[in-house]
A and B are shown apart, each in its own frame.
Chain A
Amino acid sequence: MKKGYIWKRLLRSFLSVFIIMIIVFIMLYSLVPRDNIFFEDATYKKLGGKPDDKREYVMRTWEKLGYLDYETLNDFCAAKYEQGSAEMEAAMENGSKEYYEFIDTFEKKGYTVEYLQLSKKPYAFKDVPLVQRLAKWVSHLLVIDTPWSVQDPNNPDLKRYIKLGTTPTGGLALIGSGTTHKYLIYTDTRFPFLHQNIITLNLGTSYPKFEGMQVLDVIFQSQGTEVKREVTFETGVTQESAINFGSLTYKPTLDRLDQAKFVDHYANYTTNKEQSSMIGTSFIMGIFALILAYGIGLPAGLAMAKNKDGIVDKIGMFYIIFIIAVPSLAYIYLFRYLGTRLFNLPSAFPIKGAGDVRSWILPIISLSLPSISSLMLWTRRYVVDQTNSDYVKFAKAKGLNQKEIFWNHIFKNAIIPIVHGIPSSLAGTITGAIITEAIYSVGGMGKMLPDSIKQYNNTMVVALTFMFATISVLSVLMGDIVLTWVDPRISLSEKEGRS
């Protein structure tokens, strides 16, 4: 296997992700009418009777989401005069010197100038070209935290350094000041135990749902009620809190409560909640469903192939045909009914919550049912194909018995394509399971994409597309790498091996 080849593949993978992103950008930001994004916005609905405020809100939102550049007379004047001063008051009058200056300046710059319906105040806007939006999105994708990240005019004395230290919970940490995050690298008792905040992915903020939150936080933050515990802050104050120390970030203005707990400006934090994140929930569910699928589907497929046309094969075929022929909704409900009736398992996830193992059983089983069926089918097919191949006939002629032929020859060849697919199946778990999660009311990733599309949460759609595309492209590469471990003929290089 050549290193150079893998780099090339990676490069190509990212190129294809980039192309996908361009397509998504074009579709979302030029084909979907921009007015649609307000359909699900409660604030917008409340502003129904106030046309000026509504216009202001719409323009501000579009600006925030990157559709356009928005300028108001107020901003224009505020740059020149003190807010609330007499000059400011005068400048804000329609027909003032600044009024005409504003219109002039922005018309020259190519902005469209319009007037609010009631107050007749002018405002200017200019659409941001799509390419520029994409470039901006890409250039802001990776955020690297340095001691110069925070530029706060109200806090000129902010020290700028990075040093080694510990977190209040006793974990080892790289502590920064002047950085956005307080703890750049830290350890704690939560998986994966070592965390970092130096490089963060910035996929934009969610809107209109989870308004103002980073989309990644929406996906990755724990959900449910807070888990409080006794903690001692750096000021020595001890109280019940659900604070996640690792999440501390710079807060420009501190209130009294903050000052009681924190010795510096790092006072913004997220809290620990009892349930895993959306992505975590889907991942846990998916992993166990996969284990179940491979654990049952693979041996069952092997047994069917060994027993071709026998009773085991017929039973297996019946199951496969059942899963293919019956709509998934129907058999998921059937298994839910059986599970709740016979084993007294909860019929929905929230009944007992994520903390109870029983909540997971039925969703995991229902998720694994189709995977088991397809693994059985493919395993059987691969094994049967191999059984009829010439090298198996020759192995028999060599005098090997059935068992030796099966395990030393057929098996390894037959599972090659199955092994190849494992990374992709793993990656697939994070996209969530729409139907299963809906039926059991599991807070997972399954509903994120369809919901985001429905709610015109374009940032979220872009972010999810980016994540899913990246992960699936990488998992295909991973699959090929895994293939080289099991198949000596594959060498992951442009040219064939020696012949």
Chain B
Amino acid sequence: MEEKKVILSAKDVEVRFRVRENYLTAIRGVSLDIYDGETFAIVGESGSGKSVFTKTFTGMIDSNGAITGGSIMFEGKDLTKLTTDKDWEGIRGAKISTIFQDPMTSLNPIRTIGSQISEVIEKHQGIPHEEAKAQAIELMEKVGIKDAANRFDEYPFQYSGGMRQRIVIAIALSCHPKILICDEPTTALDVTIQAQIIKLIKDLQKELKFTTIYITHDLGVVANVADRVGVMYAGQIIEYGTAEDVFYNPQHPYTWALLSSLPQLGVKGEDLYFITGTPPSLFNKIQGDAFAPRNPHALKIDFIKEPPMFKVSDTHYAKTWLLDPRAPKLDKPEAIQDLHGKIKRMTDKGGAFHVE
């Protein structure tokens, strides 16, 4: 594999929120390099910090929180040092864009679709209104809105959910961003629309050559679109690697659990493999490995000392004591044996992954 160019590099990022008198550490030292042009998927159960982590790239952390450690380098700038709207000008919404989960509510209900697109173009490119409008219409067509010129002056309530999400994508891409963050962009949509939107993002990425960071619950989607995958748990990335690495050679017991809890992977007649217990409270300092209390394979050391990132291969890393040479050898759960074949069969069925 050729040497890839790093476009964004996070080092030991820590994010804390103040909740009344207490502090909650939502992101506990995450380091990650994102390569130019790739699709990086972040998976993990809800509350694991996927959204908060990616929000640090655009300075969108809620006002009761702050980045309390680490650095995020992008185009020679440390994003953690930016604070005011002015600092972020030219980056947020321009070089790094975000699409959120709910297209129903992402658009201002009382302003026309067109004005919400051209507003960004005018803002970031500083061009006159008429030109911005022309660009906006072109964009609308590009994301698959038919009869765009006529629908320019319509309001969000006149658009369906899928069309609104297309508009949101158009807005996010209006300034040719380097990085597009998709935070569960299809969760609120129904299945067929989900597939269309995912395909749209994939096609646009091919054409416009931006980097995509994809947050999703849906491992099927990941298998379909991602070049690399990071698994988050309790504010940390506990395993990452290429999609092949993570799907076919998972190392961390949490990744095993995550994969085997996929209903689509369940073998008929067998019980689903559920992850028992709940994630640890982020208010307290976590001793040892955060997953240990839920891990049926936990070792003694897991409750005492946090494991380091072990290198599995050049592309594949996992944060588990099981990779220590002194650890006992364990068999992966039955459900995730031969994942390769199972997923291949699923994704081959037809473009995007379908949930039955």
Which of these, B105, B111, B112, B157, contacts A390 with CB under 8 Å? Answer: B105
Given A413-B110, A499-B157 in contact, is the A390-B88 Cβ separation under 8 Å? no
**In the complex, chain A residues whose CB is within 8 Å of the CB of B175:** 399
Which of these, B88, B157, B160, contacts A497 with CB under 8 Å? Answer: B157
Least CB distance, B145 to chain A, in whole angstroms: 15
**In the complex, chain B residues whose CB is within 8 Å of the CB of A404:** 123
A408 located at the interface, meaning its Cβ lies under 8 Å from any Cβ of chain B in the complex:
yes
**In the complex, chain B residues whose CB is within 8 Å of the CB of A398:** 93, 97, 119-120, 123, 171-172
A397 located at the interface, meaning its Cβ lies under 8 Å from any Cβ of chain B in the complex:
yes
**What residue of chain B has the Cβ atom nearest to residue A486's Cβ?**
B110
A397 with B58: CB separation less than 8 A = yes
Given A389-B105, A396-B60, A401-B89 in contact, is the A416-B110 Cβ separation under 8 Å? yes
Least CB distance, A483 to chain B, in whole angstroms: 11
**In the complex, chain B residues whose CB is within 8 Å of the CB of A389:** 105
Cα-based distance from A412 to B109 in the complex (angstroms) = 10
| Binary flags per residue of B12-45, CB closer than 8 Å to A gives 1, else 0 | 0000000000000000000000000000000000
| Binary flags per residue of B171-184, CB closer than 8 Å to A gives 1, else 0 | 11001000000000
A400 with B105: CB separation less than 8 A = no
Least CB distance, A262 to chain B, in whole angstroms: 61
Interface size on B, residues (CB 8 A): 34
**In the complex, chain B residues whose CB is within 8 Å of the CB of A497:** 157-158
A489 with B111: CB separation less than 8 A = no
B200 located at the interface, meaning its Cβ lies under 8 Å from any Cβ of chain A in the complex:
no
| Binary flags per residue of A365-404, CB closer than 8 Å to B gives 1, else 0 | 0000000000000000000000001110111111111101
**In the complex, chain A residues whose CB is within 8 Å of the CB of B89:** 399, 401
A114 located at the interface, meaning its Cβ lies under 8 Å from any Cβ of chain B in the complex:
no
Query: Between A and B, how many residue pairs show CB distances below 8 Å?
Result: 82
Given A397-B93, A400-B93, A400-B119 in contact, is the A391-B157 Cβ separation under 8 Å? no
Least CB distance, A486 to chain B, in whole angstroms: 7
**What residue of chain B has the Cβ atom nearest to residue A391's Cβ?**
B108
A390 with B110: CB separation less than 8 A = no
| Binary flags per residue of B94-108, CB closer than 8 Å to A gives 1, else 0 | 100110101001111
Cα-based distance from A400 to B119 in the complex (angstroms) = 9
Which of these, A399, A412, A498, contacts B93 with CB under 8 Å? Answer: A399
B168 located at the interface, meaning its Cβ lies under 8 Å from any Cβ of chain A in the complex:
yes
Within 8 A of B (CB), among A455-499: 486-489, 497-499
B158 with A394: CB separation less than 8 A = no
Which of these, A396, A397, A399, A409, contacts B108 with CB under 8 Å? Answer: A409
A489 with B110: CB separation less than 8 A = yes
Given A399-B88, A400-B93, A489-B157 in contact, is the A391-B107 Cβ separation under 8 Å? yes
Listed in ascending order, the chain A residues whose CB lies under 8 Å from chain B are: 389-391, 393-402, 404, 408-409, 412-413, 416, 486-489, 497-499
| With A391-B107, A409-B108, A489-B157 already in contact, 8 other A-B pairs whose C-beta atoms are closer than 8 Å | A391-B106, A399-B89, A399-B94, A400-B123, A401-B89, A416-B110, A487-B110, A499-B158
